[in-house]
Structure 1
């Protein structure tokens, strides 16, 4: 750590020490290009393995299973990251699909009840039905990165919810006469649903950690706050959630960005590698997922960072402009996306948000 800090001072100078750590990769001159080259070298130098070879060389924990790509079905594995201690009593390994580019955990957490017949609810409800598994997956759920006190963490979540809703203003400025389903992880503290009700939405919650439940559907909006990375069968799960949307409905997604400069800069130490996360999406792989699950289009809103967007961190002149350019090039910490259930939704909301069609 000291050596890295010393090298950074030699290359960039001490003035960047005053920039919050989460923003340094975005504001230092030339860093985006350097990280992109570093990423391409990592991809080019890491061998692609047959599934059987990967299984033979990788230790499997009791609560884990080997998986293939849940997005395209590719069996080959390209092991990129390994983080000790990120799983319960074991090592957290992340591979890249050489066919579609998805990053995912392999071995992954084994479903607690894999033989339960599917219903009209997301498969995640089956995975999270068993208390030990729910504890494993949700022990670290938080939008705070620094171990903030509960009240402070709640304030940060509230701020992030507001900023994200404001980023898709036409959809969330007023919810009067519309219904919203929050597909959440664990019981939650109700912060977002209170904010949604303040804006006029009639709200409901689907608890993916509580086991299979029945939802009637017909919702105008579904929200996935840091949930997508925890869905073990994303294609099946998103098809199911899309089926709960009314004609003209939309789904809000907030998830860690697997194309972020932070991942390329910190590698195994990236904060997105939390023990409950199973899949890691870039904008490209998210578009693929939405297309394969029947959504008609998607719009993205750049994520510059909560502190920056709220005005709590000021980045003067060139620093601020450089951060915006790097984030808008696809390197932001998080992905904020709005998926449109059908052409009616694209026509109603997407044209004002710069939507791209996916089907």
Structure 2
């Protein structure tokens, strides 16, 4: 299917966009942005809005699943939109008709979340997934500079630390760094990699030195989409942050033009993803859990930001303008501020959206 779509695009646009990374071409090809937005609006108009009881009658929950309502606004109605599927997995994604939040329904029971990561999850984290991962971390750190430039005398918690790839970067920056993860083999590999940072299996409250809080930075690298109870988790993150602390989020962007273009085949619909946020819905989660503000950094693509994509300067500028003025890119990068002290200290170089 993807090959067919690329062949069609090549026939329509010729070869003049071949030098643009595939995921970014949607922002540059003439008329495509408007066409994808129209395609999205048509999808929303065609999708019926049903009650939770009606939705439940049409679907079956698995042994580790439950039917849920919108965690952000409490709306019980559902607007079924997608059914992504892969090898040995498939699920349904609905949209909240009140606030626009996208989430998997039925969703995973919180107490069974570890089931998704129990069997050699580190094989995935340290295989092809890990390629260029530390470069991605550093590019995002640069986008939110100077928040993570200097870790001297500062505490950092990497929630969902996997095999410790970011913890390694954090300890190099001088942070007193800790990590937690639900994959025991990933934690084992992380501690083999690390020198001063430490990774722990389980939740923050399982580790006394983490449960005590006082963190200057908490990071969630490709973790937010995996959380079945985000209000509970983010309330706890807020408690764990010290005055002036910040929380960094990197996740798939539910406002992405690529989602609107590819639907069920969107790269953000992966086996273990549960909820899908955007710059329109993430602030609601942060507001409800006590954060004072948030800022977003557009994601232009790893190779574009690293300067390794063979783009002429004029094309690079056009791409960045298009991404920044539309959806912000296929990944969502956000920095949440715990309080006014954090905004004053770290928000000077960023456009901060205050959360009442």
| Bin for the TM-score computed over the shorter chain | 0.7 to 0.9
Provide the C-alpha distance between the structure 2 equivalents of 1:248 and 1:259, rounded to a whole number of angstroms.
29
What SS is found at the alignment partner of 2:6? helix
2:146 pairs with one of 159, 166, 170: 170
User: In the alignment, is residue 81 of structure 1 matched against residue 117 of structure 2?
Assistant: no
**Conserved 8 A contact 1:85-1:92:** no
Task: Tell me by how many angstroms 1:22 deviates.
Answer: 1.6
**Conserved 8 A contact 1:61-1:90:** no
Write out aligned runs for 1:47-66 (5 A).
Answer: 47-66=48-67
**Conserved 8 A contact 1:137-1:275:** no
What SS is found at the alignment partner of 1:171? coil
Aligned structure 1 segments of 4 or more residues deviating by more than 3 angstroms = 135-142, 152-155, 208-212
Write out aligned runs for 1:145-160 (5 A).
Answer: 150=127, 153-160=129-136
Change (3 A) 1:85 1:220: same
User: In the alignment, is residue 347 of structure 1 matched against residue 344 of structure 2?
Assistant: yes
Task: Tell me by how many angstroms 1:313 deviates.
Answer: 0.6
User: In the alignment, is residue 292 of structure 1 matched against residue 293 of structure 2?
Assistant: no
Instruction: Give the alignment's TM-score, normalised by structure 1.
Output: 0.86
Name the counterpart of 1:118: none
RMSD: 2.1
Q: Which moved more, 1:204-213 or 1:238-247?
A: 204-213
2:238 pairs with one of 242, 256, 271: 242
Task: Tell me by how many angstroms 1:140 deviates.
Answer: 8.4
Provide the C-alpha distance between the structure 1 equivalents of 2:111 and 2:219, rounded to a whole number of angstroms.
25
Provide the C-alpha distance between the structure 2 equivalents of 1:140 and 1:99, rounded to a whole number of angstroms.
39
Runs of at least 5 residues in structure 2 that lack an aligned partner in the other structure? 184-200
Give CA deviations for 1:89-114 in whole Å, capped at 9, x if unaligned: 4521100000111100011122336x
**Conserved 8 A contact 1:303-1:335:** yes
**Conserved 8 A contact 2:100-2:281:** yes
Write out aligned runs for 1:197-216 (5 A).
Answer: 197-209=171-183, 210-212=201-203, 213-214=206-207, 215-216=211-212
Give CA deviations for 1:304-323 in whole Å, capped at 9, x if unaligned: 01111111112225532332
Name the counterpart of 2:265: 269
Provide the C-alpha distance between the structure 2 equivalents of 1:283 and 1:79, rounded to a whole number of angstroms.
21
Provide the C-alpha distance between the structure 2 equivalents of 1:35 and 1:269, rounded to a whole number of angstroms.
14
**Conserved 8 A contact 1:326-1:332:** no
Change (3 A) 1:74 1:228: same
User: In the alignment, is residue 135 of structure 1 matched against residue 131 of structure 2?
Assistant: no
Provide the C-alpha distance between the structure 1 equivalents of 2:7 and 2:181, rounded to a whole number of angstroms.
46
What SS is found at the alignment partner of 1:243? helix
Change (3 A) 1:30 1:322: farther
Change (3 A) 1:138 1:108: farther
**Conserved 8 A contact 1:184-1:208:** yes
Task: Tell me by how many angstroms 1:16 deviates.
Answer: 2.3
Give the number of equivalent residue pairs: 332
Name the counterpart of 2:188: none
User: In the alignment, is residue 181 of structure 1 matched against residue 181 of structure 2?
Assistant: no
Provide the C-alpha distance between the structure 2 equivalents of 1:264 and 1:352, rounded to a whole number of angstroms.
31
Give CA deviations for 1:64-88 in whole Å, capped at 9, x if unaligned: 21111111111100011012336xx
Change (3 A) 1:141 1:217: farther
Provide the C-alpha distance between the structure 2 equivalents of 1:250 and 1:181, rounded to a whole number of angstroms.
11
Runs of at least 5 residues in structure 1 that lack an aligned partner in the other structure? 114-126, 143-148
Name the counterpart of 1:44: 45
Provide the C-alpha distance between the structure 1 equivalents of 2:121 and 2:57, rounded to a whole number of angstroms.
30
Write out aligned runs for 1:305-316 (5 A).
Answer: 305-316=301-312
Change (3 A) 1:321 1:234: same
What SS is found at the alignment partner of 2:280? helix
**Conserved 8 A contact 1:27-1:320:** no
**Conserved 8 A contact 1:137-1:277:** no
Give CA deviations for 1:142-177 in whole Å, capped at 9, x if unaligned: 5xxxxxx83x65441110111111111111111111
Task: Tell me by how many angstroms 1:207 deviates.
Answer: 2.6
User: In the alignment, is residue 161 of structure 1 matched against residue 163 of structure 2?
Assistant: no
Provide the C-alpha distance between the structure 1 equivalents of 2:180 and 2:212, rounded to a whole number of angstroms.
11
What SS is found at the alignment partner of 2:74? coil
